[in-house]
């Protein structure tokens, strides 16, 4: 069964029918937002059932759209959280990626600014590595990007997409060895992105990120995960009552190869480790469970089939 990421937008009226339908299809609801009278669902549903969902949602004035980044957690790395970079461009990029379904976390580096003085601490590096992909929002000068890039890529194991003021070709030329993706013409700016050519740049980011994520998906498919992270999310929501007390909008974040559970590690890790996925198979058998560097959350990374020898 191939699961495809979609976004459903519709009214509150009878939306529970859509929730039930997605669950009956064997799909997973990753995020559910209720904004006034509107419901936005980000879900993974079986590819062959999209038409059924569209048919059912039509009388409810619901809209089903593909959302390539559902089920990914992306780090938007800003060189600082000062007025120079906030709210534009950092928030604009983070917000736009959310419309494509991604769960974005903005990471403002403590000492990321400057070409010679820019630094990446070990904590920042570890937090970035917990994500599926990192977008680096650099400035406008190629000299600076060229000089600071080696510092900022040191120890980063996730694919990096670089955004900067110079053209894409220039970025490709100055960054050596190459990174996973490049977006030119989007460096530091201090105005809101609302002109068509600026929105086109943001679309370009979604496109580039989707391309890189697809490549990563292909890599994962070659040695599939022992359990899909979305199913893991469902199991945790079912078996850990404390998760429903968490006030965070997304208490269990689905990543491409794991989940982030927003519960403290020490009191809950042992309980989560012992949860049974299927007869005789515990979460600990198919996942690495470790404390996240982000607050004291729990991070589950699913082991591949080659390591566990099972697919559940």
Partner 1 sequence: MSTLEYFEVDSTEPVGGQLYRRIASTVITDHNLLKVLERLRIFIDPSVPVFVAVGITRTVPRTITVSDLAGITYDGQKITLAIADETFLADLLQILWKSYGKDQVSQPDRFTIEILTSGDAASSGIEDLAVADPTEGLFKDLIYSMQVICPEGFRVKKQNFHNGRFWFVASENTLPEDVTPLVDEQFRIMEAAS
Binding site residues, partner 1, CB under 8 A: 79-80, 82-85, 113-118, 139-144, 165-167, 170, 187-191
Nearer to partner 1, 144 or 252 (CB): 144
Could you tell me which of 144, 130, 125, 133 has the C-alpha nearest to residue 84?
144
- In terms of C-beta density within 10 A (0-12 exposed, 13-18 middle, 19 or more buried), how is residue 226 classed? buried
Is 166 in a helix, a strand, or coil?
coil
Closest to partner 1 by CB, 12 or 117: 117
- Cβ proximity to partner 1, 190 vs 311, nearer residue: 190
Backbone angles phi, psi at 27, to 5 degrees: -90, 180
Which residues partner with 92 through β-bridges? none
Residues 262, 266, 269, 274: what is their CA dihedral angle, to the nearest 10 degrees?
-150
Least Cβ distance, residue 115 to partner 1 (angstroms): 6
Query: What minimum distance in Å lies between the beta carbon of 151 and partner 1?
Result: 12
With beta carbons less than 8 A apart as the criterion, state whether 74 and 104 touch: yes
Shortest Cβ 152–partner 1 spacing (Å): 13
CB of 203 to partner 1, least distance (A): 20
- The CB-of-118 to partner 1 minimum distance in angstroms stands at 7
Nearer to partner 1, 143 or 248 (CB): 143
CA 180, 186, 188, 192 torsion-angle sign: negative
Which of 283, 278, 309 is closest to 298 using CA atoms? 283
- The nearer residue to partner 1, 81 or 250, going by C-beta atoms, is 81
Nearer to partner 1, 69 or 107 (CB): 107
At its nearest, how many Å lie between partner 1 and the CB of residue 81? Answer: 11
Got the DSSP string for 106-119? EEE-SS--SSSS--
Minimal distance, residue 82 CB to partner 1, in Å: 6
Nearer to partner 1, 170 or 292 (CB): 170
**Best CA proximity match to 118, nearest among 94, 84, 148:** 148
Minimum gap (Å) between residue 122 Cβ and partner 1: 21
Residue among 12 and 190 whose Cβ is closer to partner 1: 190
Q: Which residues contact residue 256 at a Cβ distance below 8 angstroms, ignoring those fewer than 6 apart?
A: 71, 72, 132, 213, 216, 217, 220, 229
Give the burial class of 267: count Cβ atoms within 10 A of its Cβ; 0-12 exposed, 13-18 middle, 19 or more buried: exposed
- How far CA 91 is from CA of 54, 75, 83, 94, 96, in Å, comes to 32, 12, 12, 5, 8
Q: How far is the CB of 113 from partner 1 (least distance, A)?
A: 4
308 burial (CB, 10 Å; 0-12 / 13-18 / 19+) is: middle
Structure tokens at 16: 């529970």
Cβ closest to partner 1, residue 68 vs residue 139: 139
């Amino acid at each position: 069964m191939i699961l495809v990421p979609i976004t459903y937008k519709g009214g509150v009226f009878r939306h529970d029918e859509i929730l039930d339908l997605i669950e009956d299809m064997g799909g997973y609801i990753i995020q559910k937002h209720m904004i006034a009278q509107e419901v936005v669902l980000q879900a993974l549903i079986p590819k062959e059932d999209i038409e059924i969902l569209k048919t059912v949602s039509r009388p409810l004035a619901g809209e089903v759209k593909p959302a390539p980044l559902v089920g990914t957690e992306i780090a938007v790395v800003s060189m600082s959280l000062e007025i120079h970079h906030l709210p534009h461009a950092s928030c604009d990029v983070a917000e736009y990626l959310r419309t494509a379904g991604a769960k974005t976390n903005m990471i403002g580096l403590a000492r990321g600014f400057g070409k010679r003085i820019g630094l990446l601490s070990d904590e920042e590096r570890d937090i970035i590595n917990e994500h599926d992909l990192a977008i680096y929002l650099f400035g406008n000068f190629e000299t600076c990007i060229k000089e600071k890039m080696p510092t900022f890529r040191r120890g980063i194991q996730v694919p990096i997409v670089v955004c900067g003021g110079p053209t894409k070709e220039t970025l490709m030329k100055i960054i050596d060895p190459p990174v996973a993706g490049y977006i030119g013409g989007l460096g530091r700016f201090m105005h809101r992105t609302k002109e068509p050519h600026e929105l086109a740049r943001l679309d370009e980011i979604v496109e580039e990120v989707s391309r890189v994520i697809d490549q990563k998906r292909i890599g994962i498919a070659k040695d599939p995960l022992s359990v899909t992270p979305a199913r893991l999310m469902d199991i945790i929501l079912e078996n850990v009552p404390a998760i429903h007390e968490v006030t965070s909008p997304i208490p269990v974040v689905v990543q491409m190869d794991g989940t982030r559970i927003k519960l403290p590690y020490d009191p809950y890790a042992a309980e989560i480790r012992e949860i049974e996925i299927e007869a005789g198979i515990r979460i600990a058998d198919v996942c690495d469970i470790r404390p996240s560097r982000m607050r004291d959350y729990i991070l589950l990374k699913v082991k591949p089939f080659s390591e566990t020898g099972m697919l559940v």
